[in-house]
Amino acid sequence: MLYEPGERNATEDELKKRIEESSKNSIFLMFAENEGKVIGFLSASRGHVNRIKHSAYIVIGILKDYRGKGIGKKLYEELETWALNNGIIRLELSVMVNNEQAIKLYEKMGFRIEGIKAKACLVNEVFVDEYYMGKILI
| % of the chain at pLDDT higher than 70 | 88
What mean pLDDT do residues 11-18 have? Answer: 72
Predicted confidence (pLDDT) per residue in 72-106, tens digit: 999 999 999 999 999 999 999 999 999 998 999 89
Residues ≥6 apart with Cβ < 8 Å to 90 = 54, 55, 56, 134, 135, 136, 137
The CATH number assigned to the domain with range 12-136 reads 3.40.630.30
pLDDT (average), residues 9-28:
71
Looking at the chain, the whole-number percentage of residues with pLDDT higher than 90 is: 75
pLDDT band at 17 (very low <50, low <70, confident <90, very high): confident
**Cβ partners under 8 Å of residue 80, min gap 6:** 91, 137
- Average pLDDT estimate for 52-72: 94
Q: Does the global pTM surpass 0.85? A: no
pLDDT at 1: 47
pLDDT higher than 90, residue 24: no
Q: Give the integer Cα–Cα distance in Å for 55 and 47.
A: 6
Please give the helix or strand (H or E) that residue 23 lies within, else none.
Answer: none
**Per-residue pLDDT at 121 exceeds 90:** yes
* Mean per-residue pLDDT, 37-53: 93
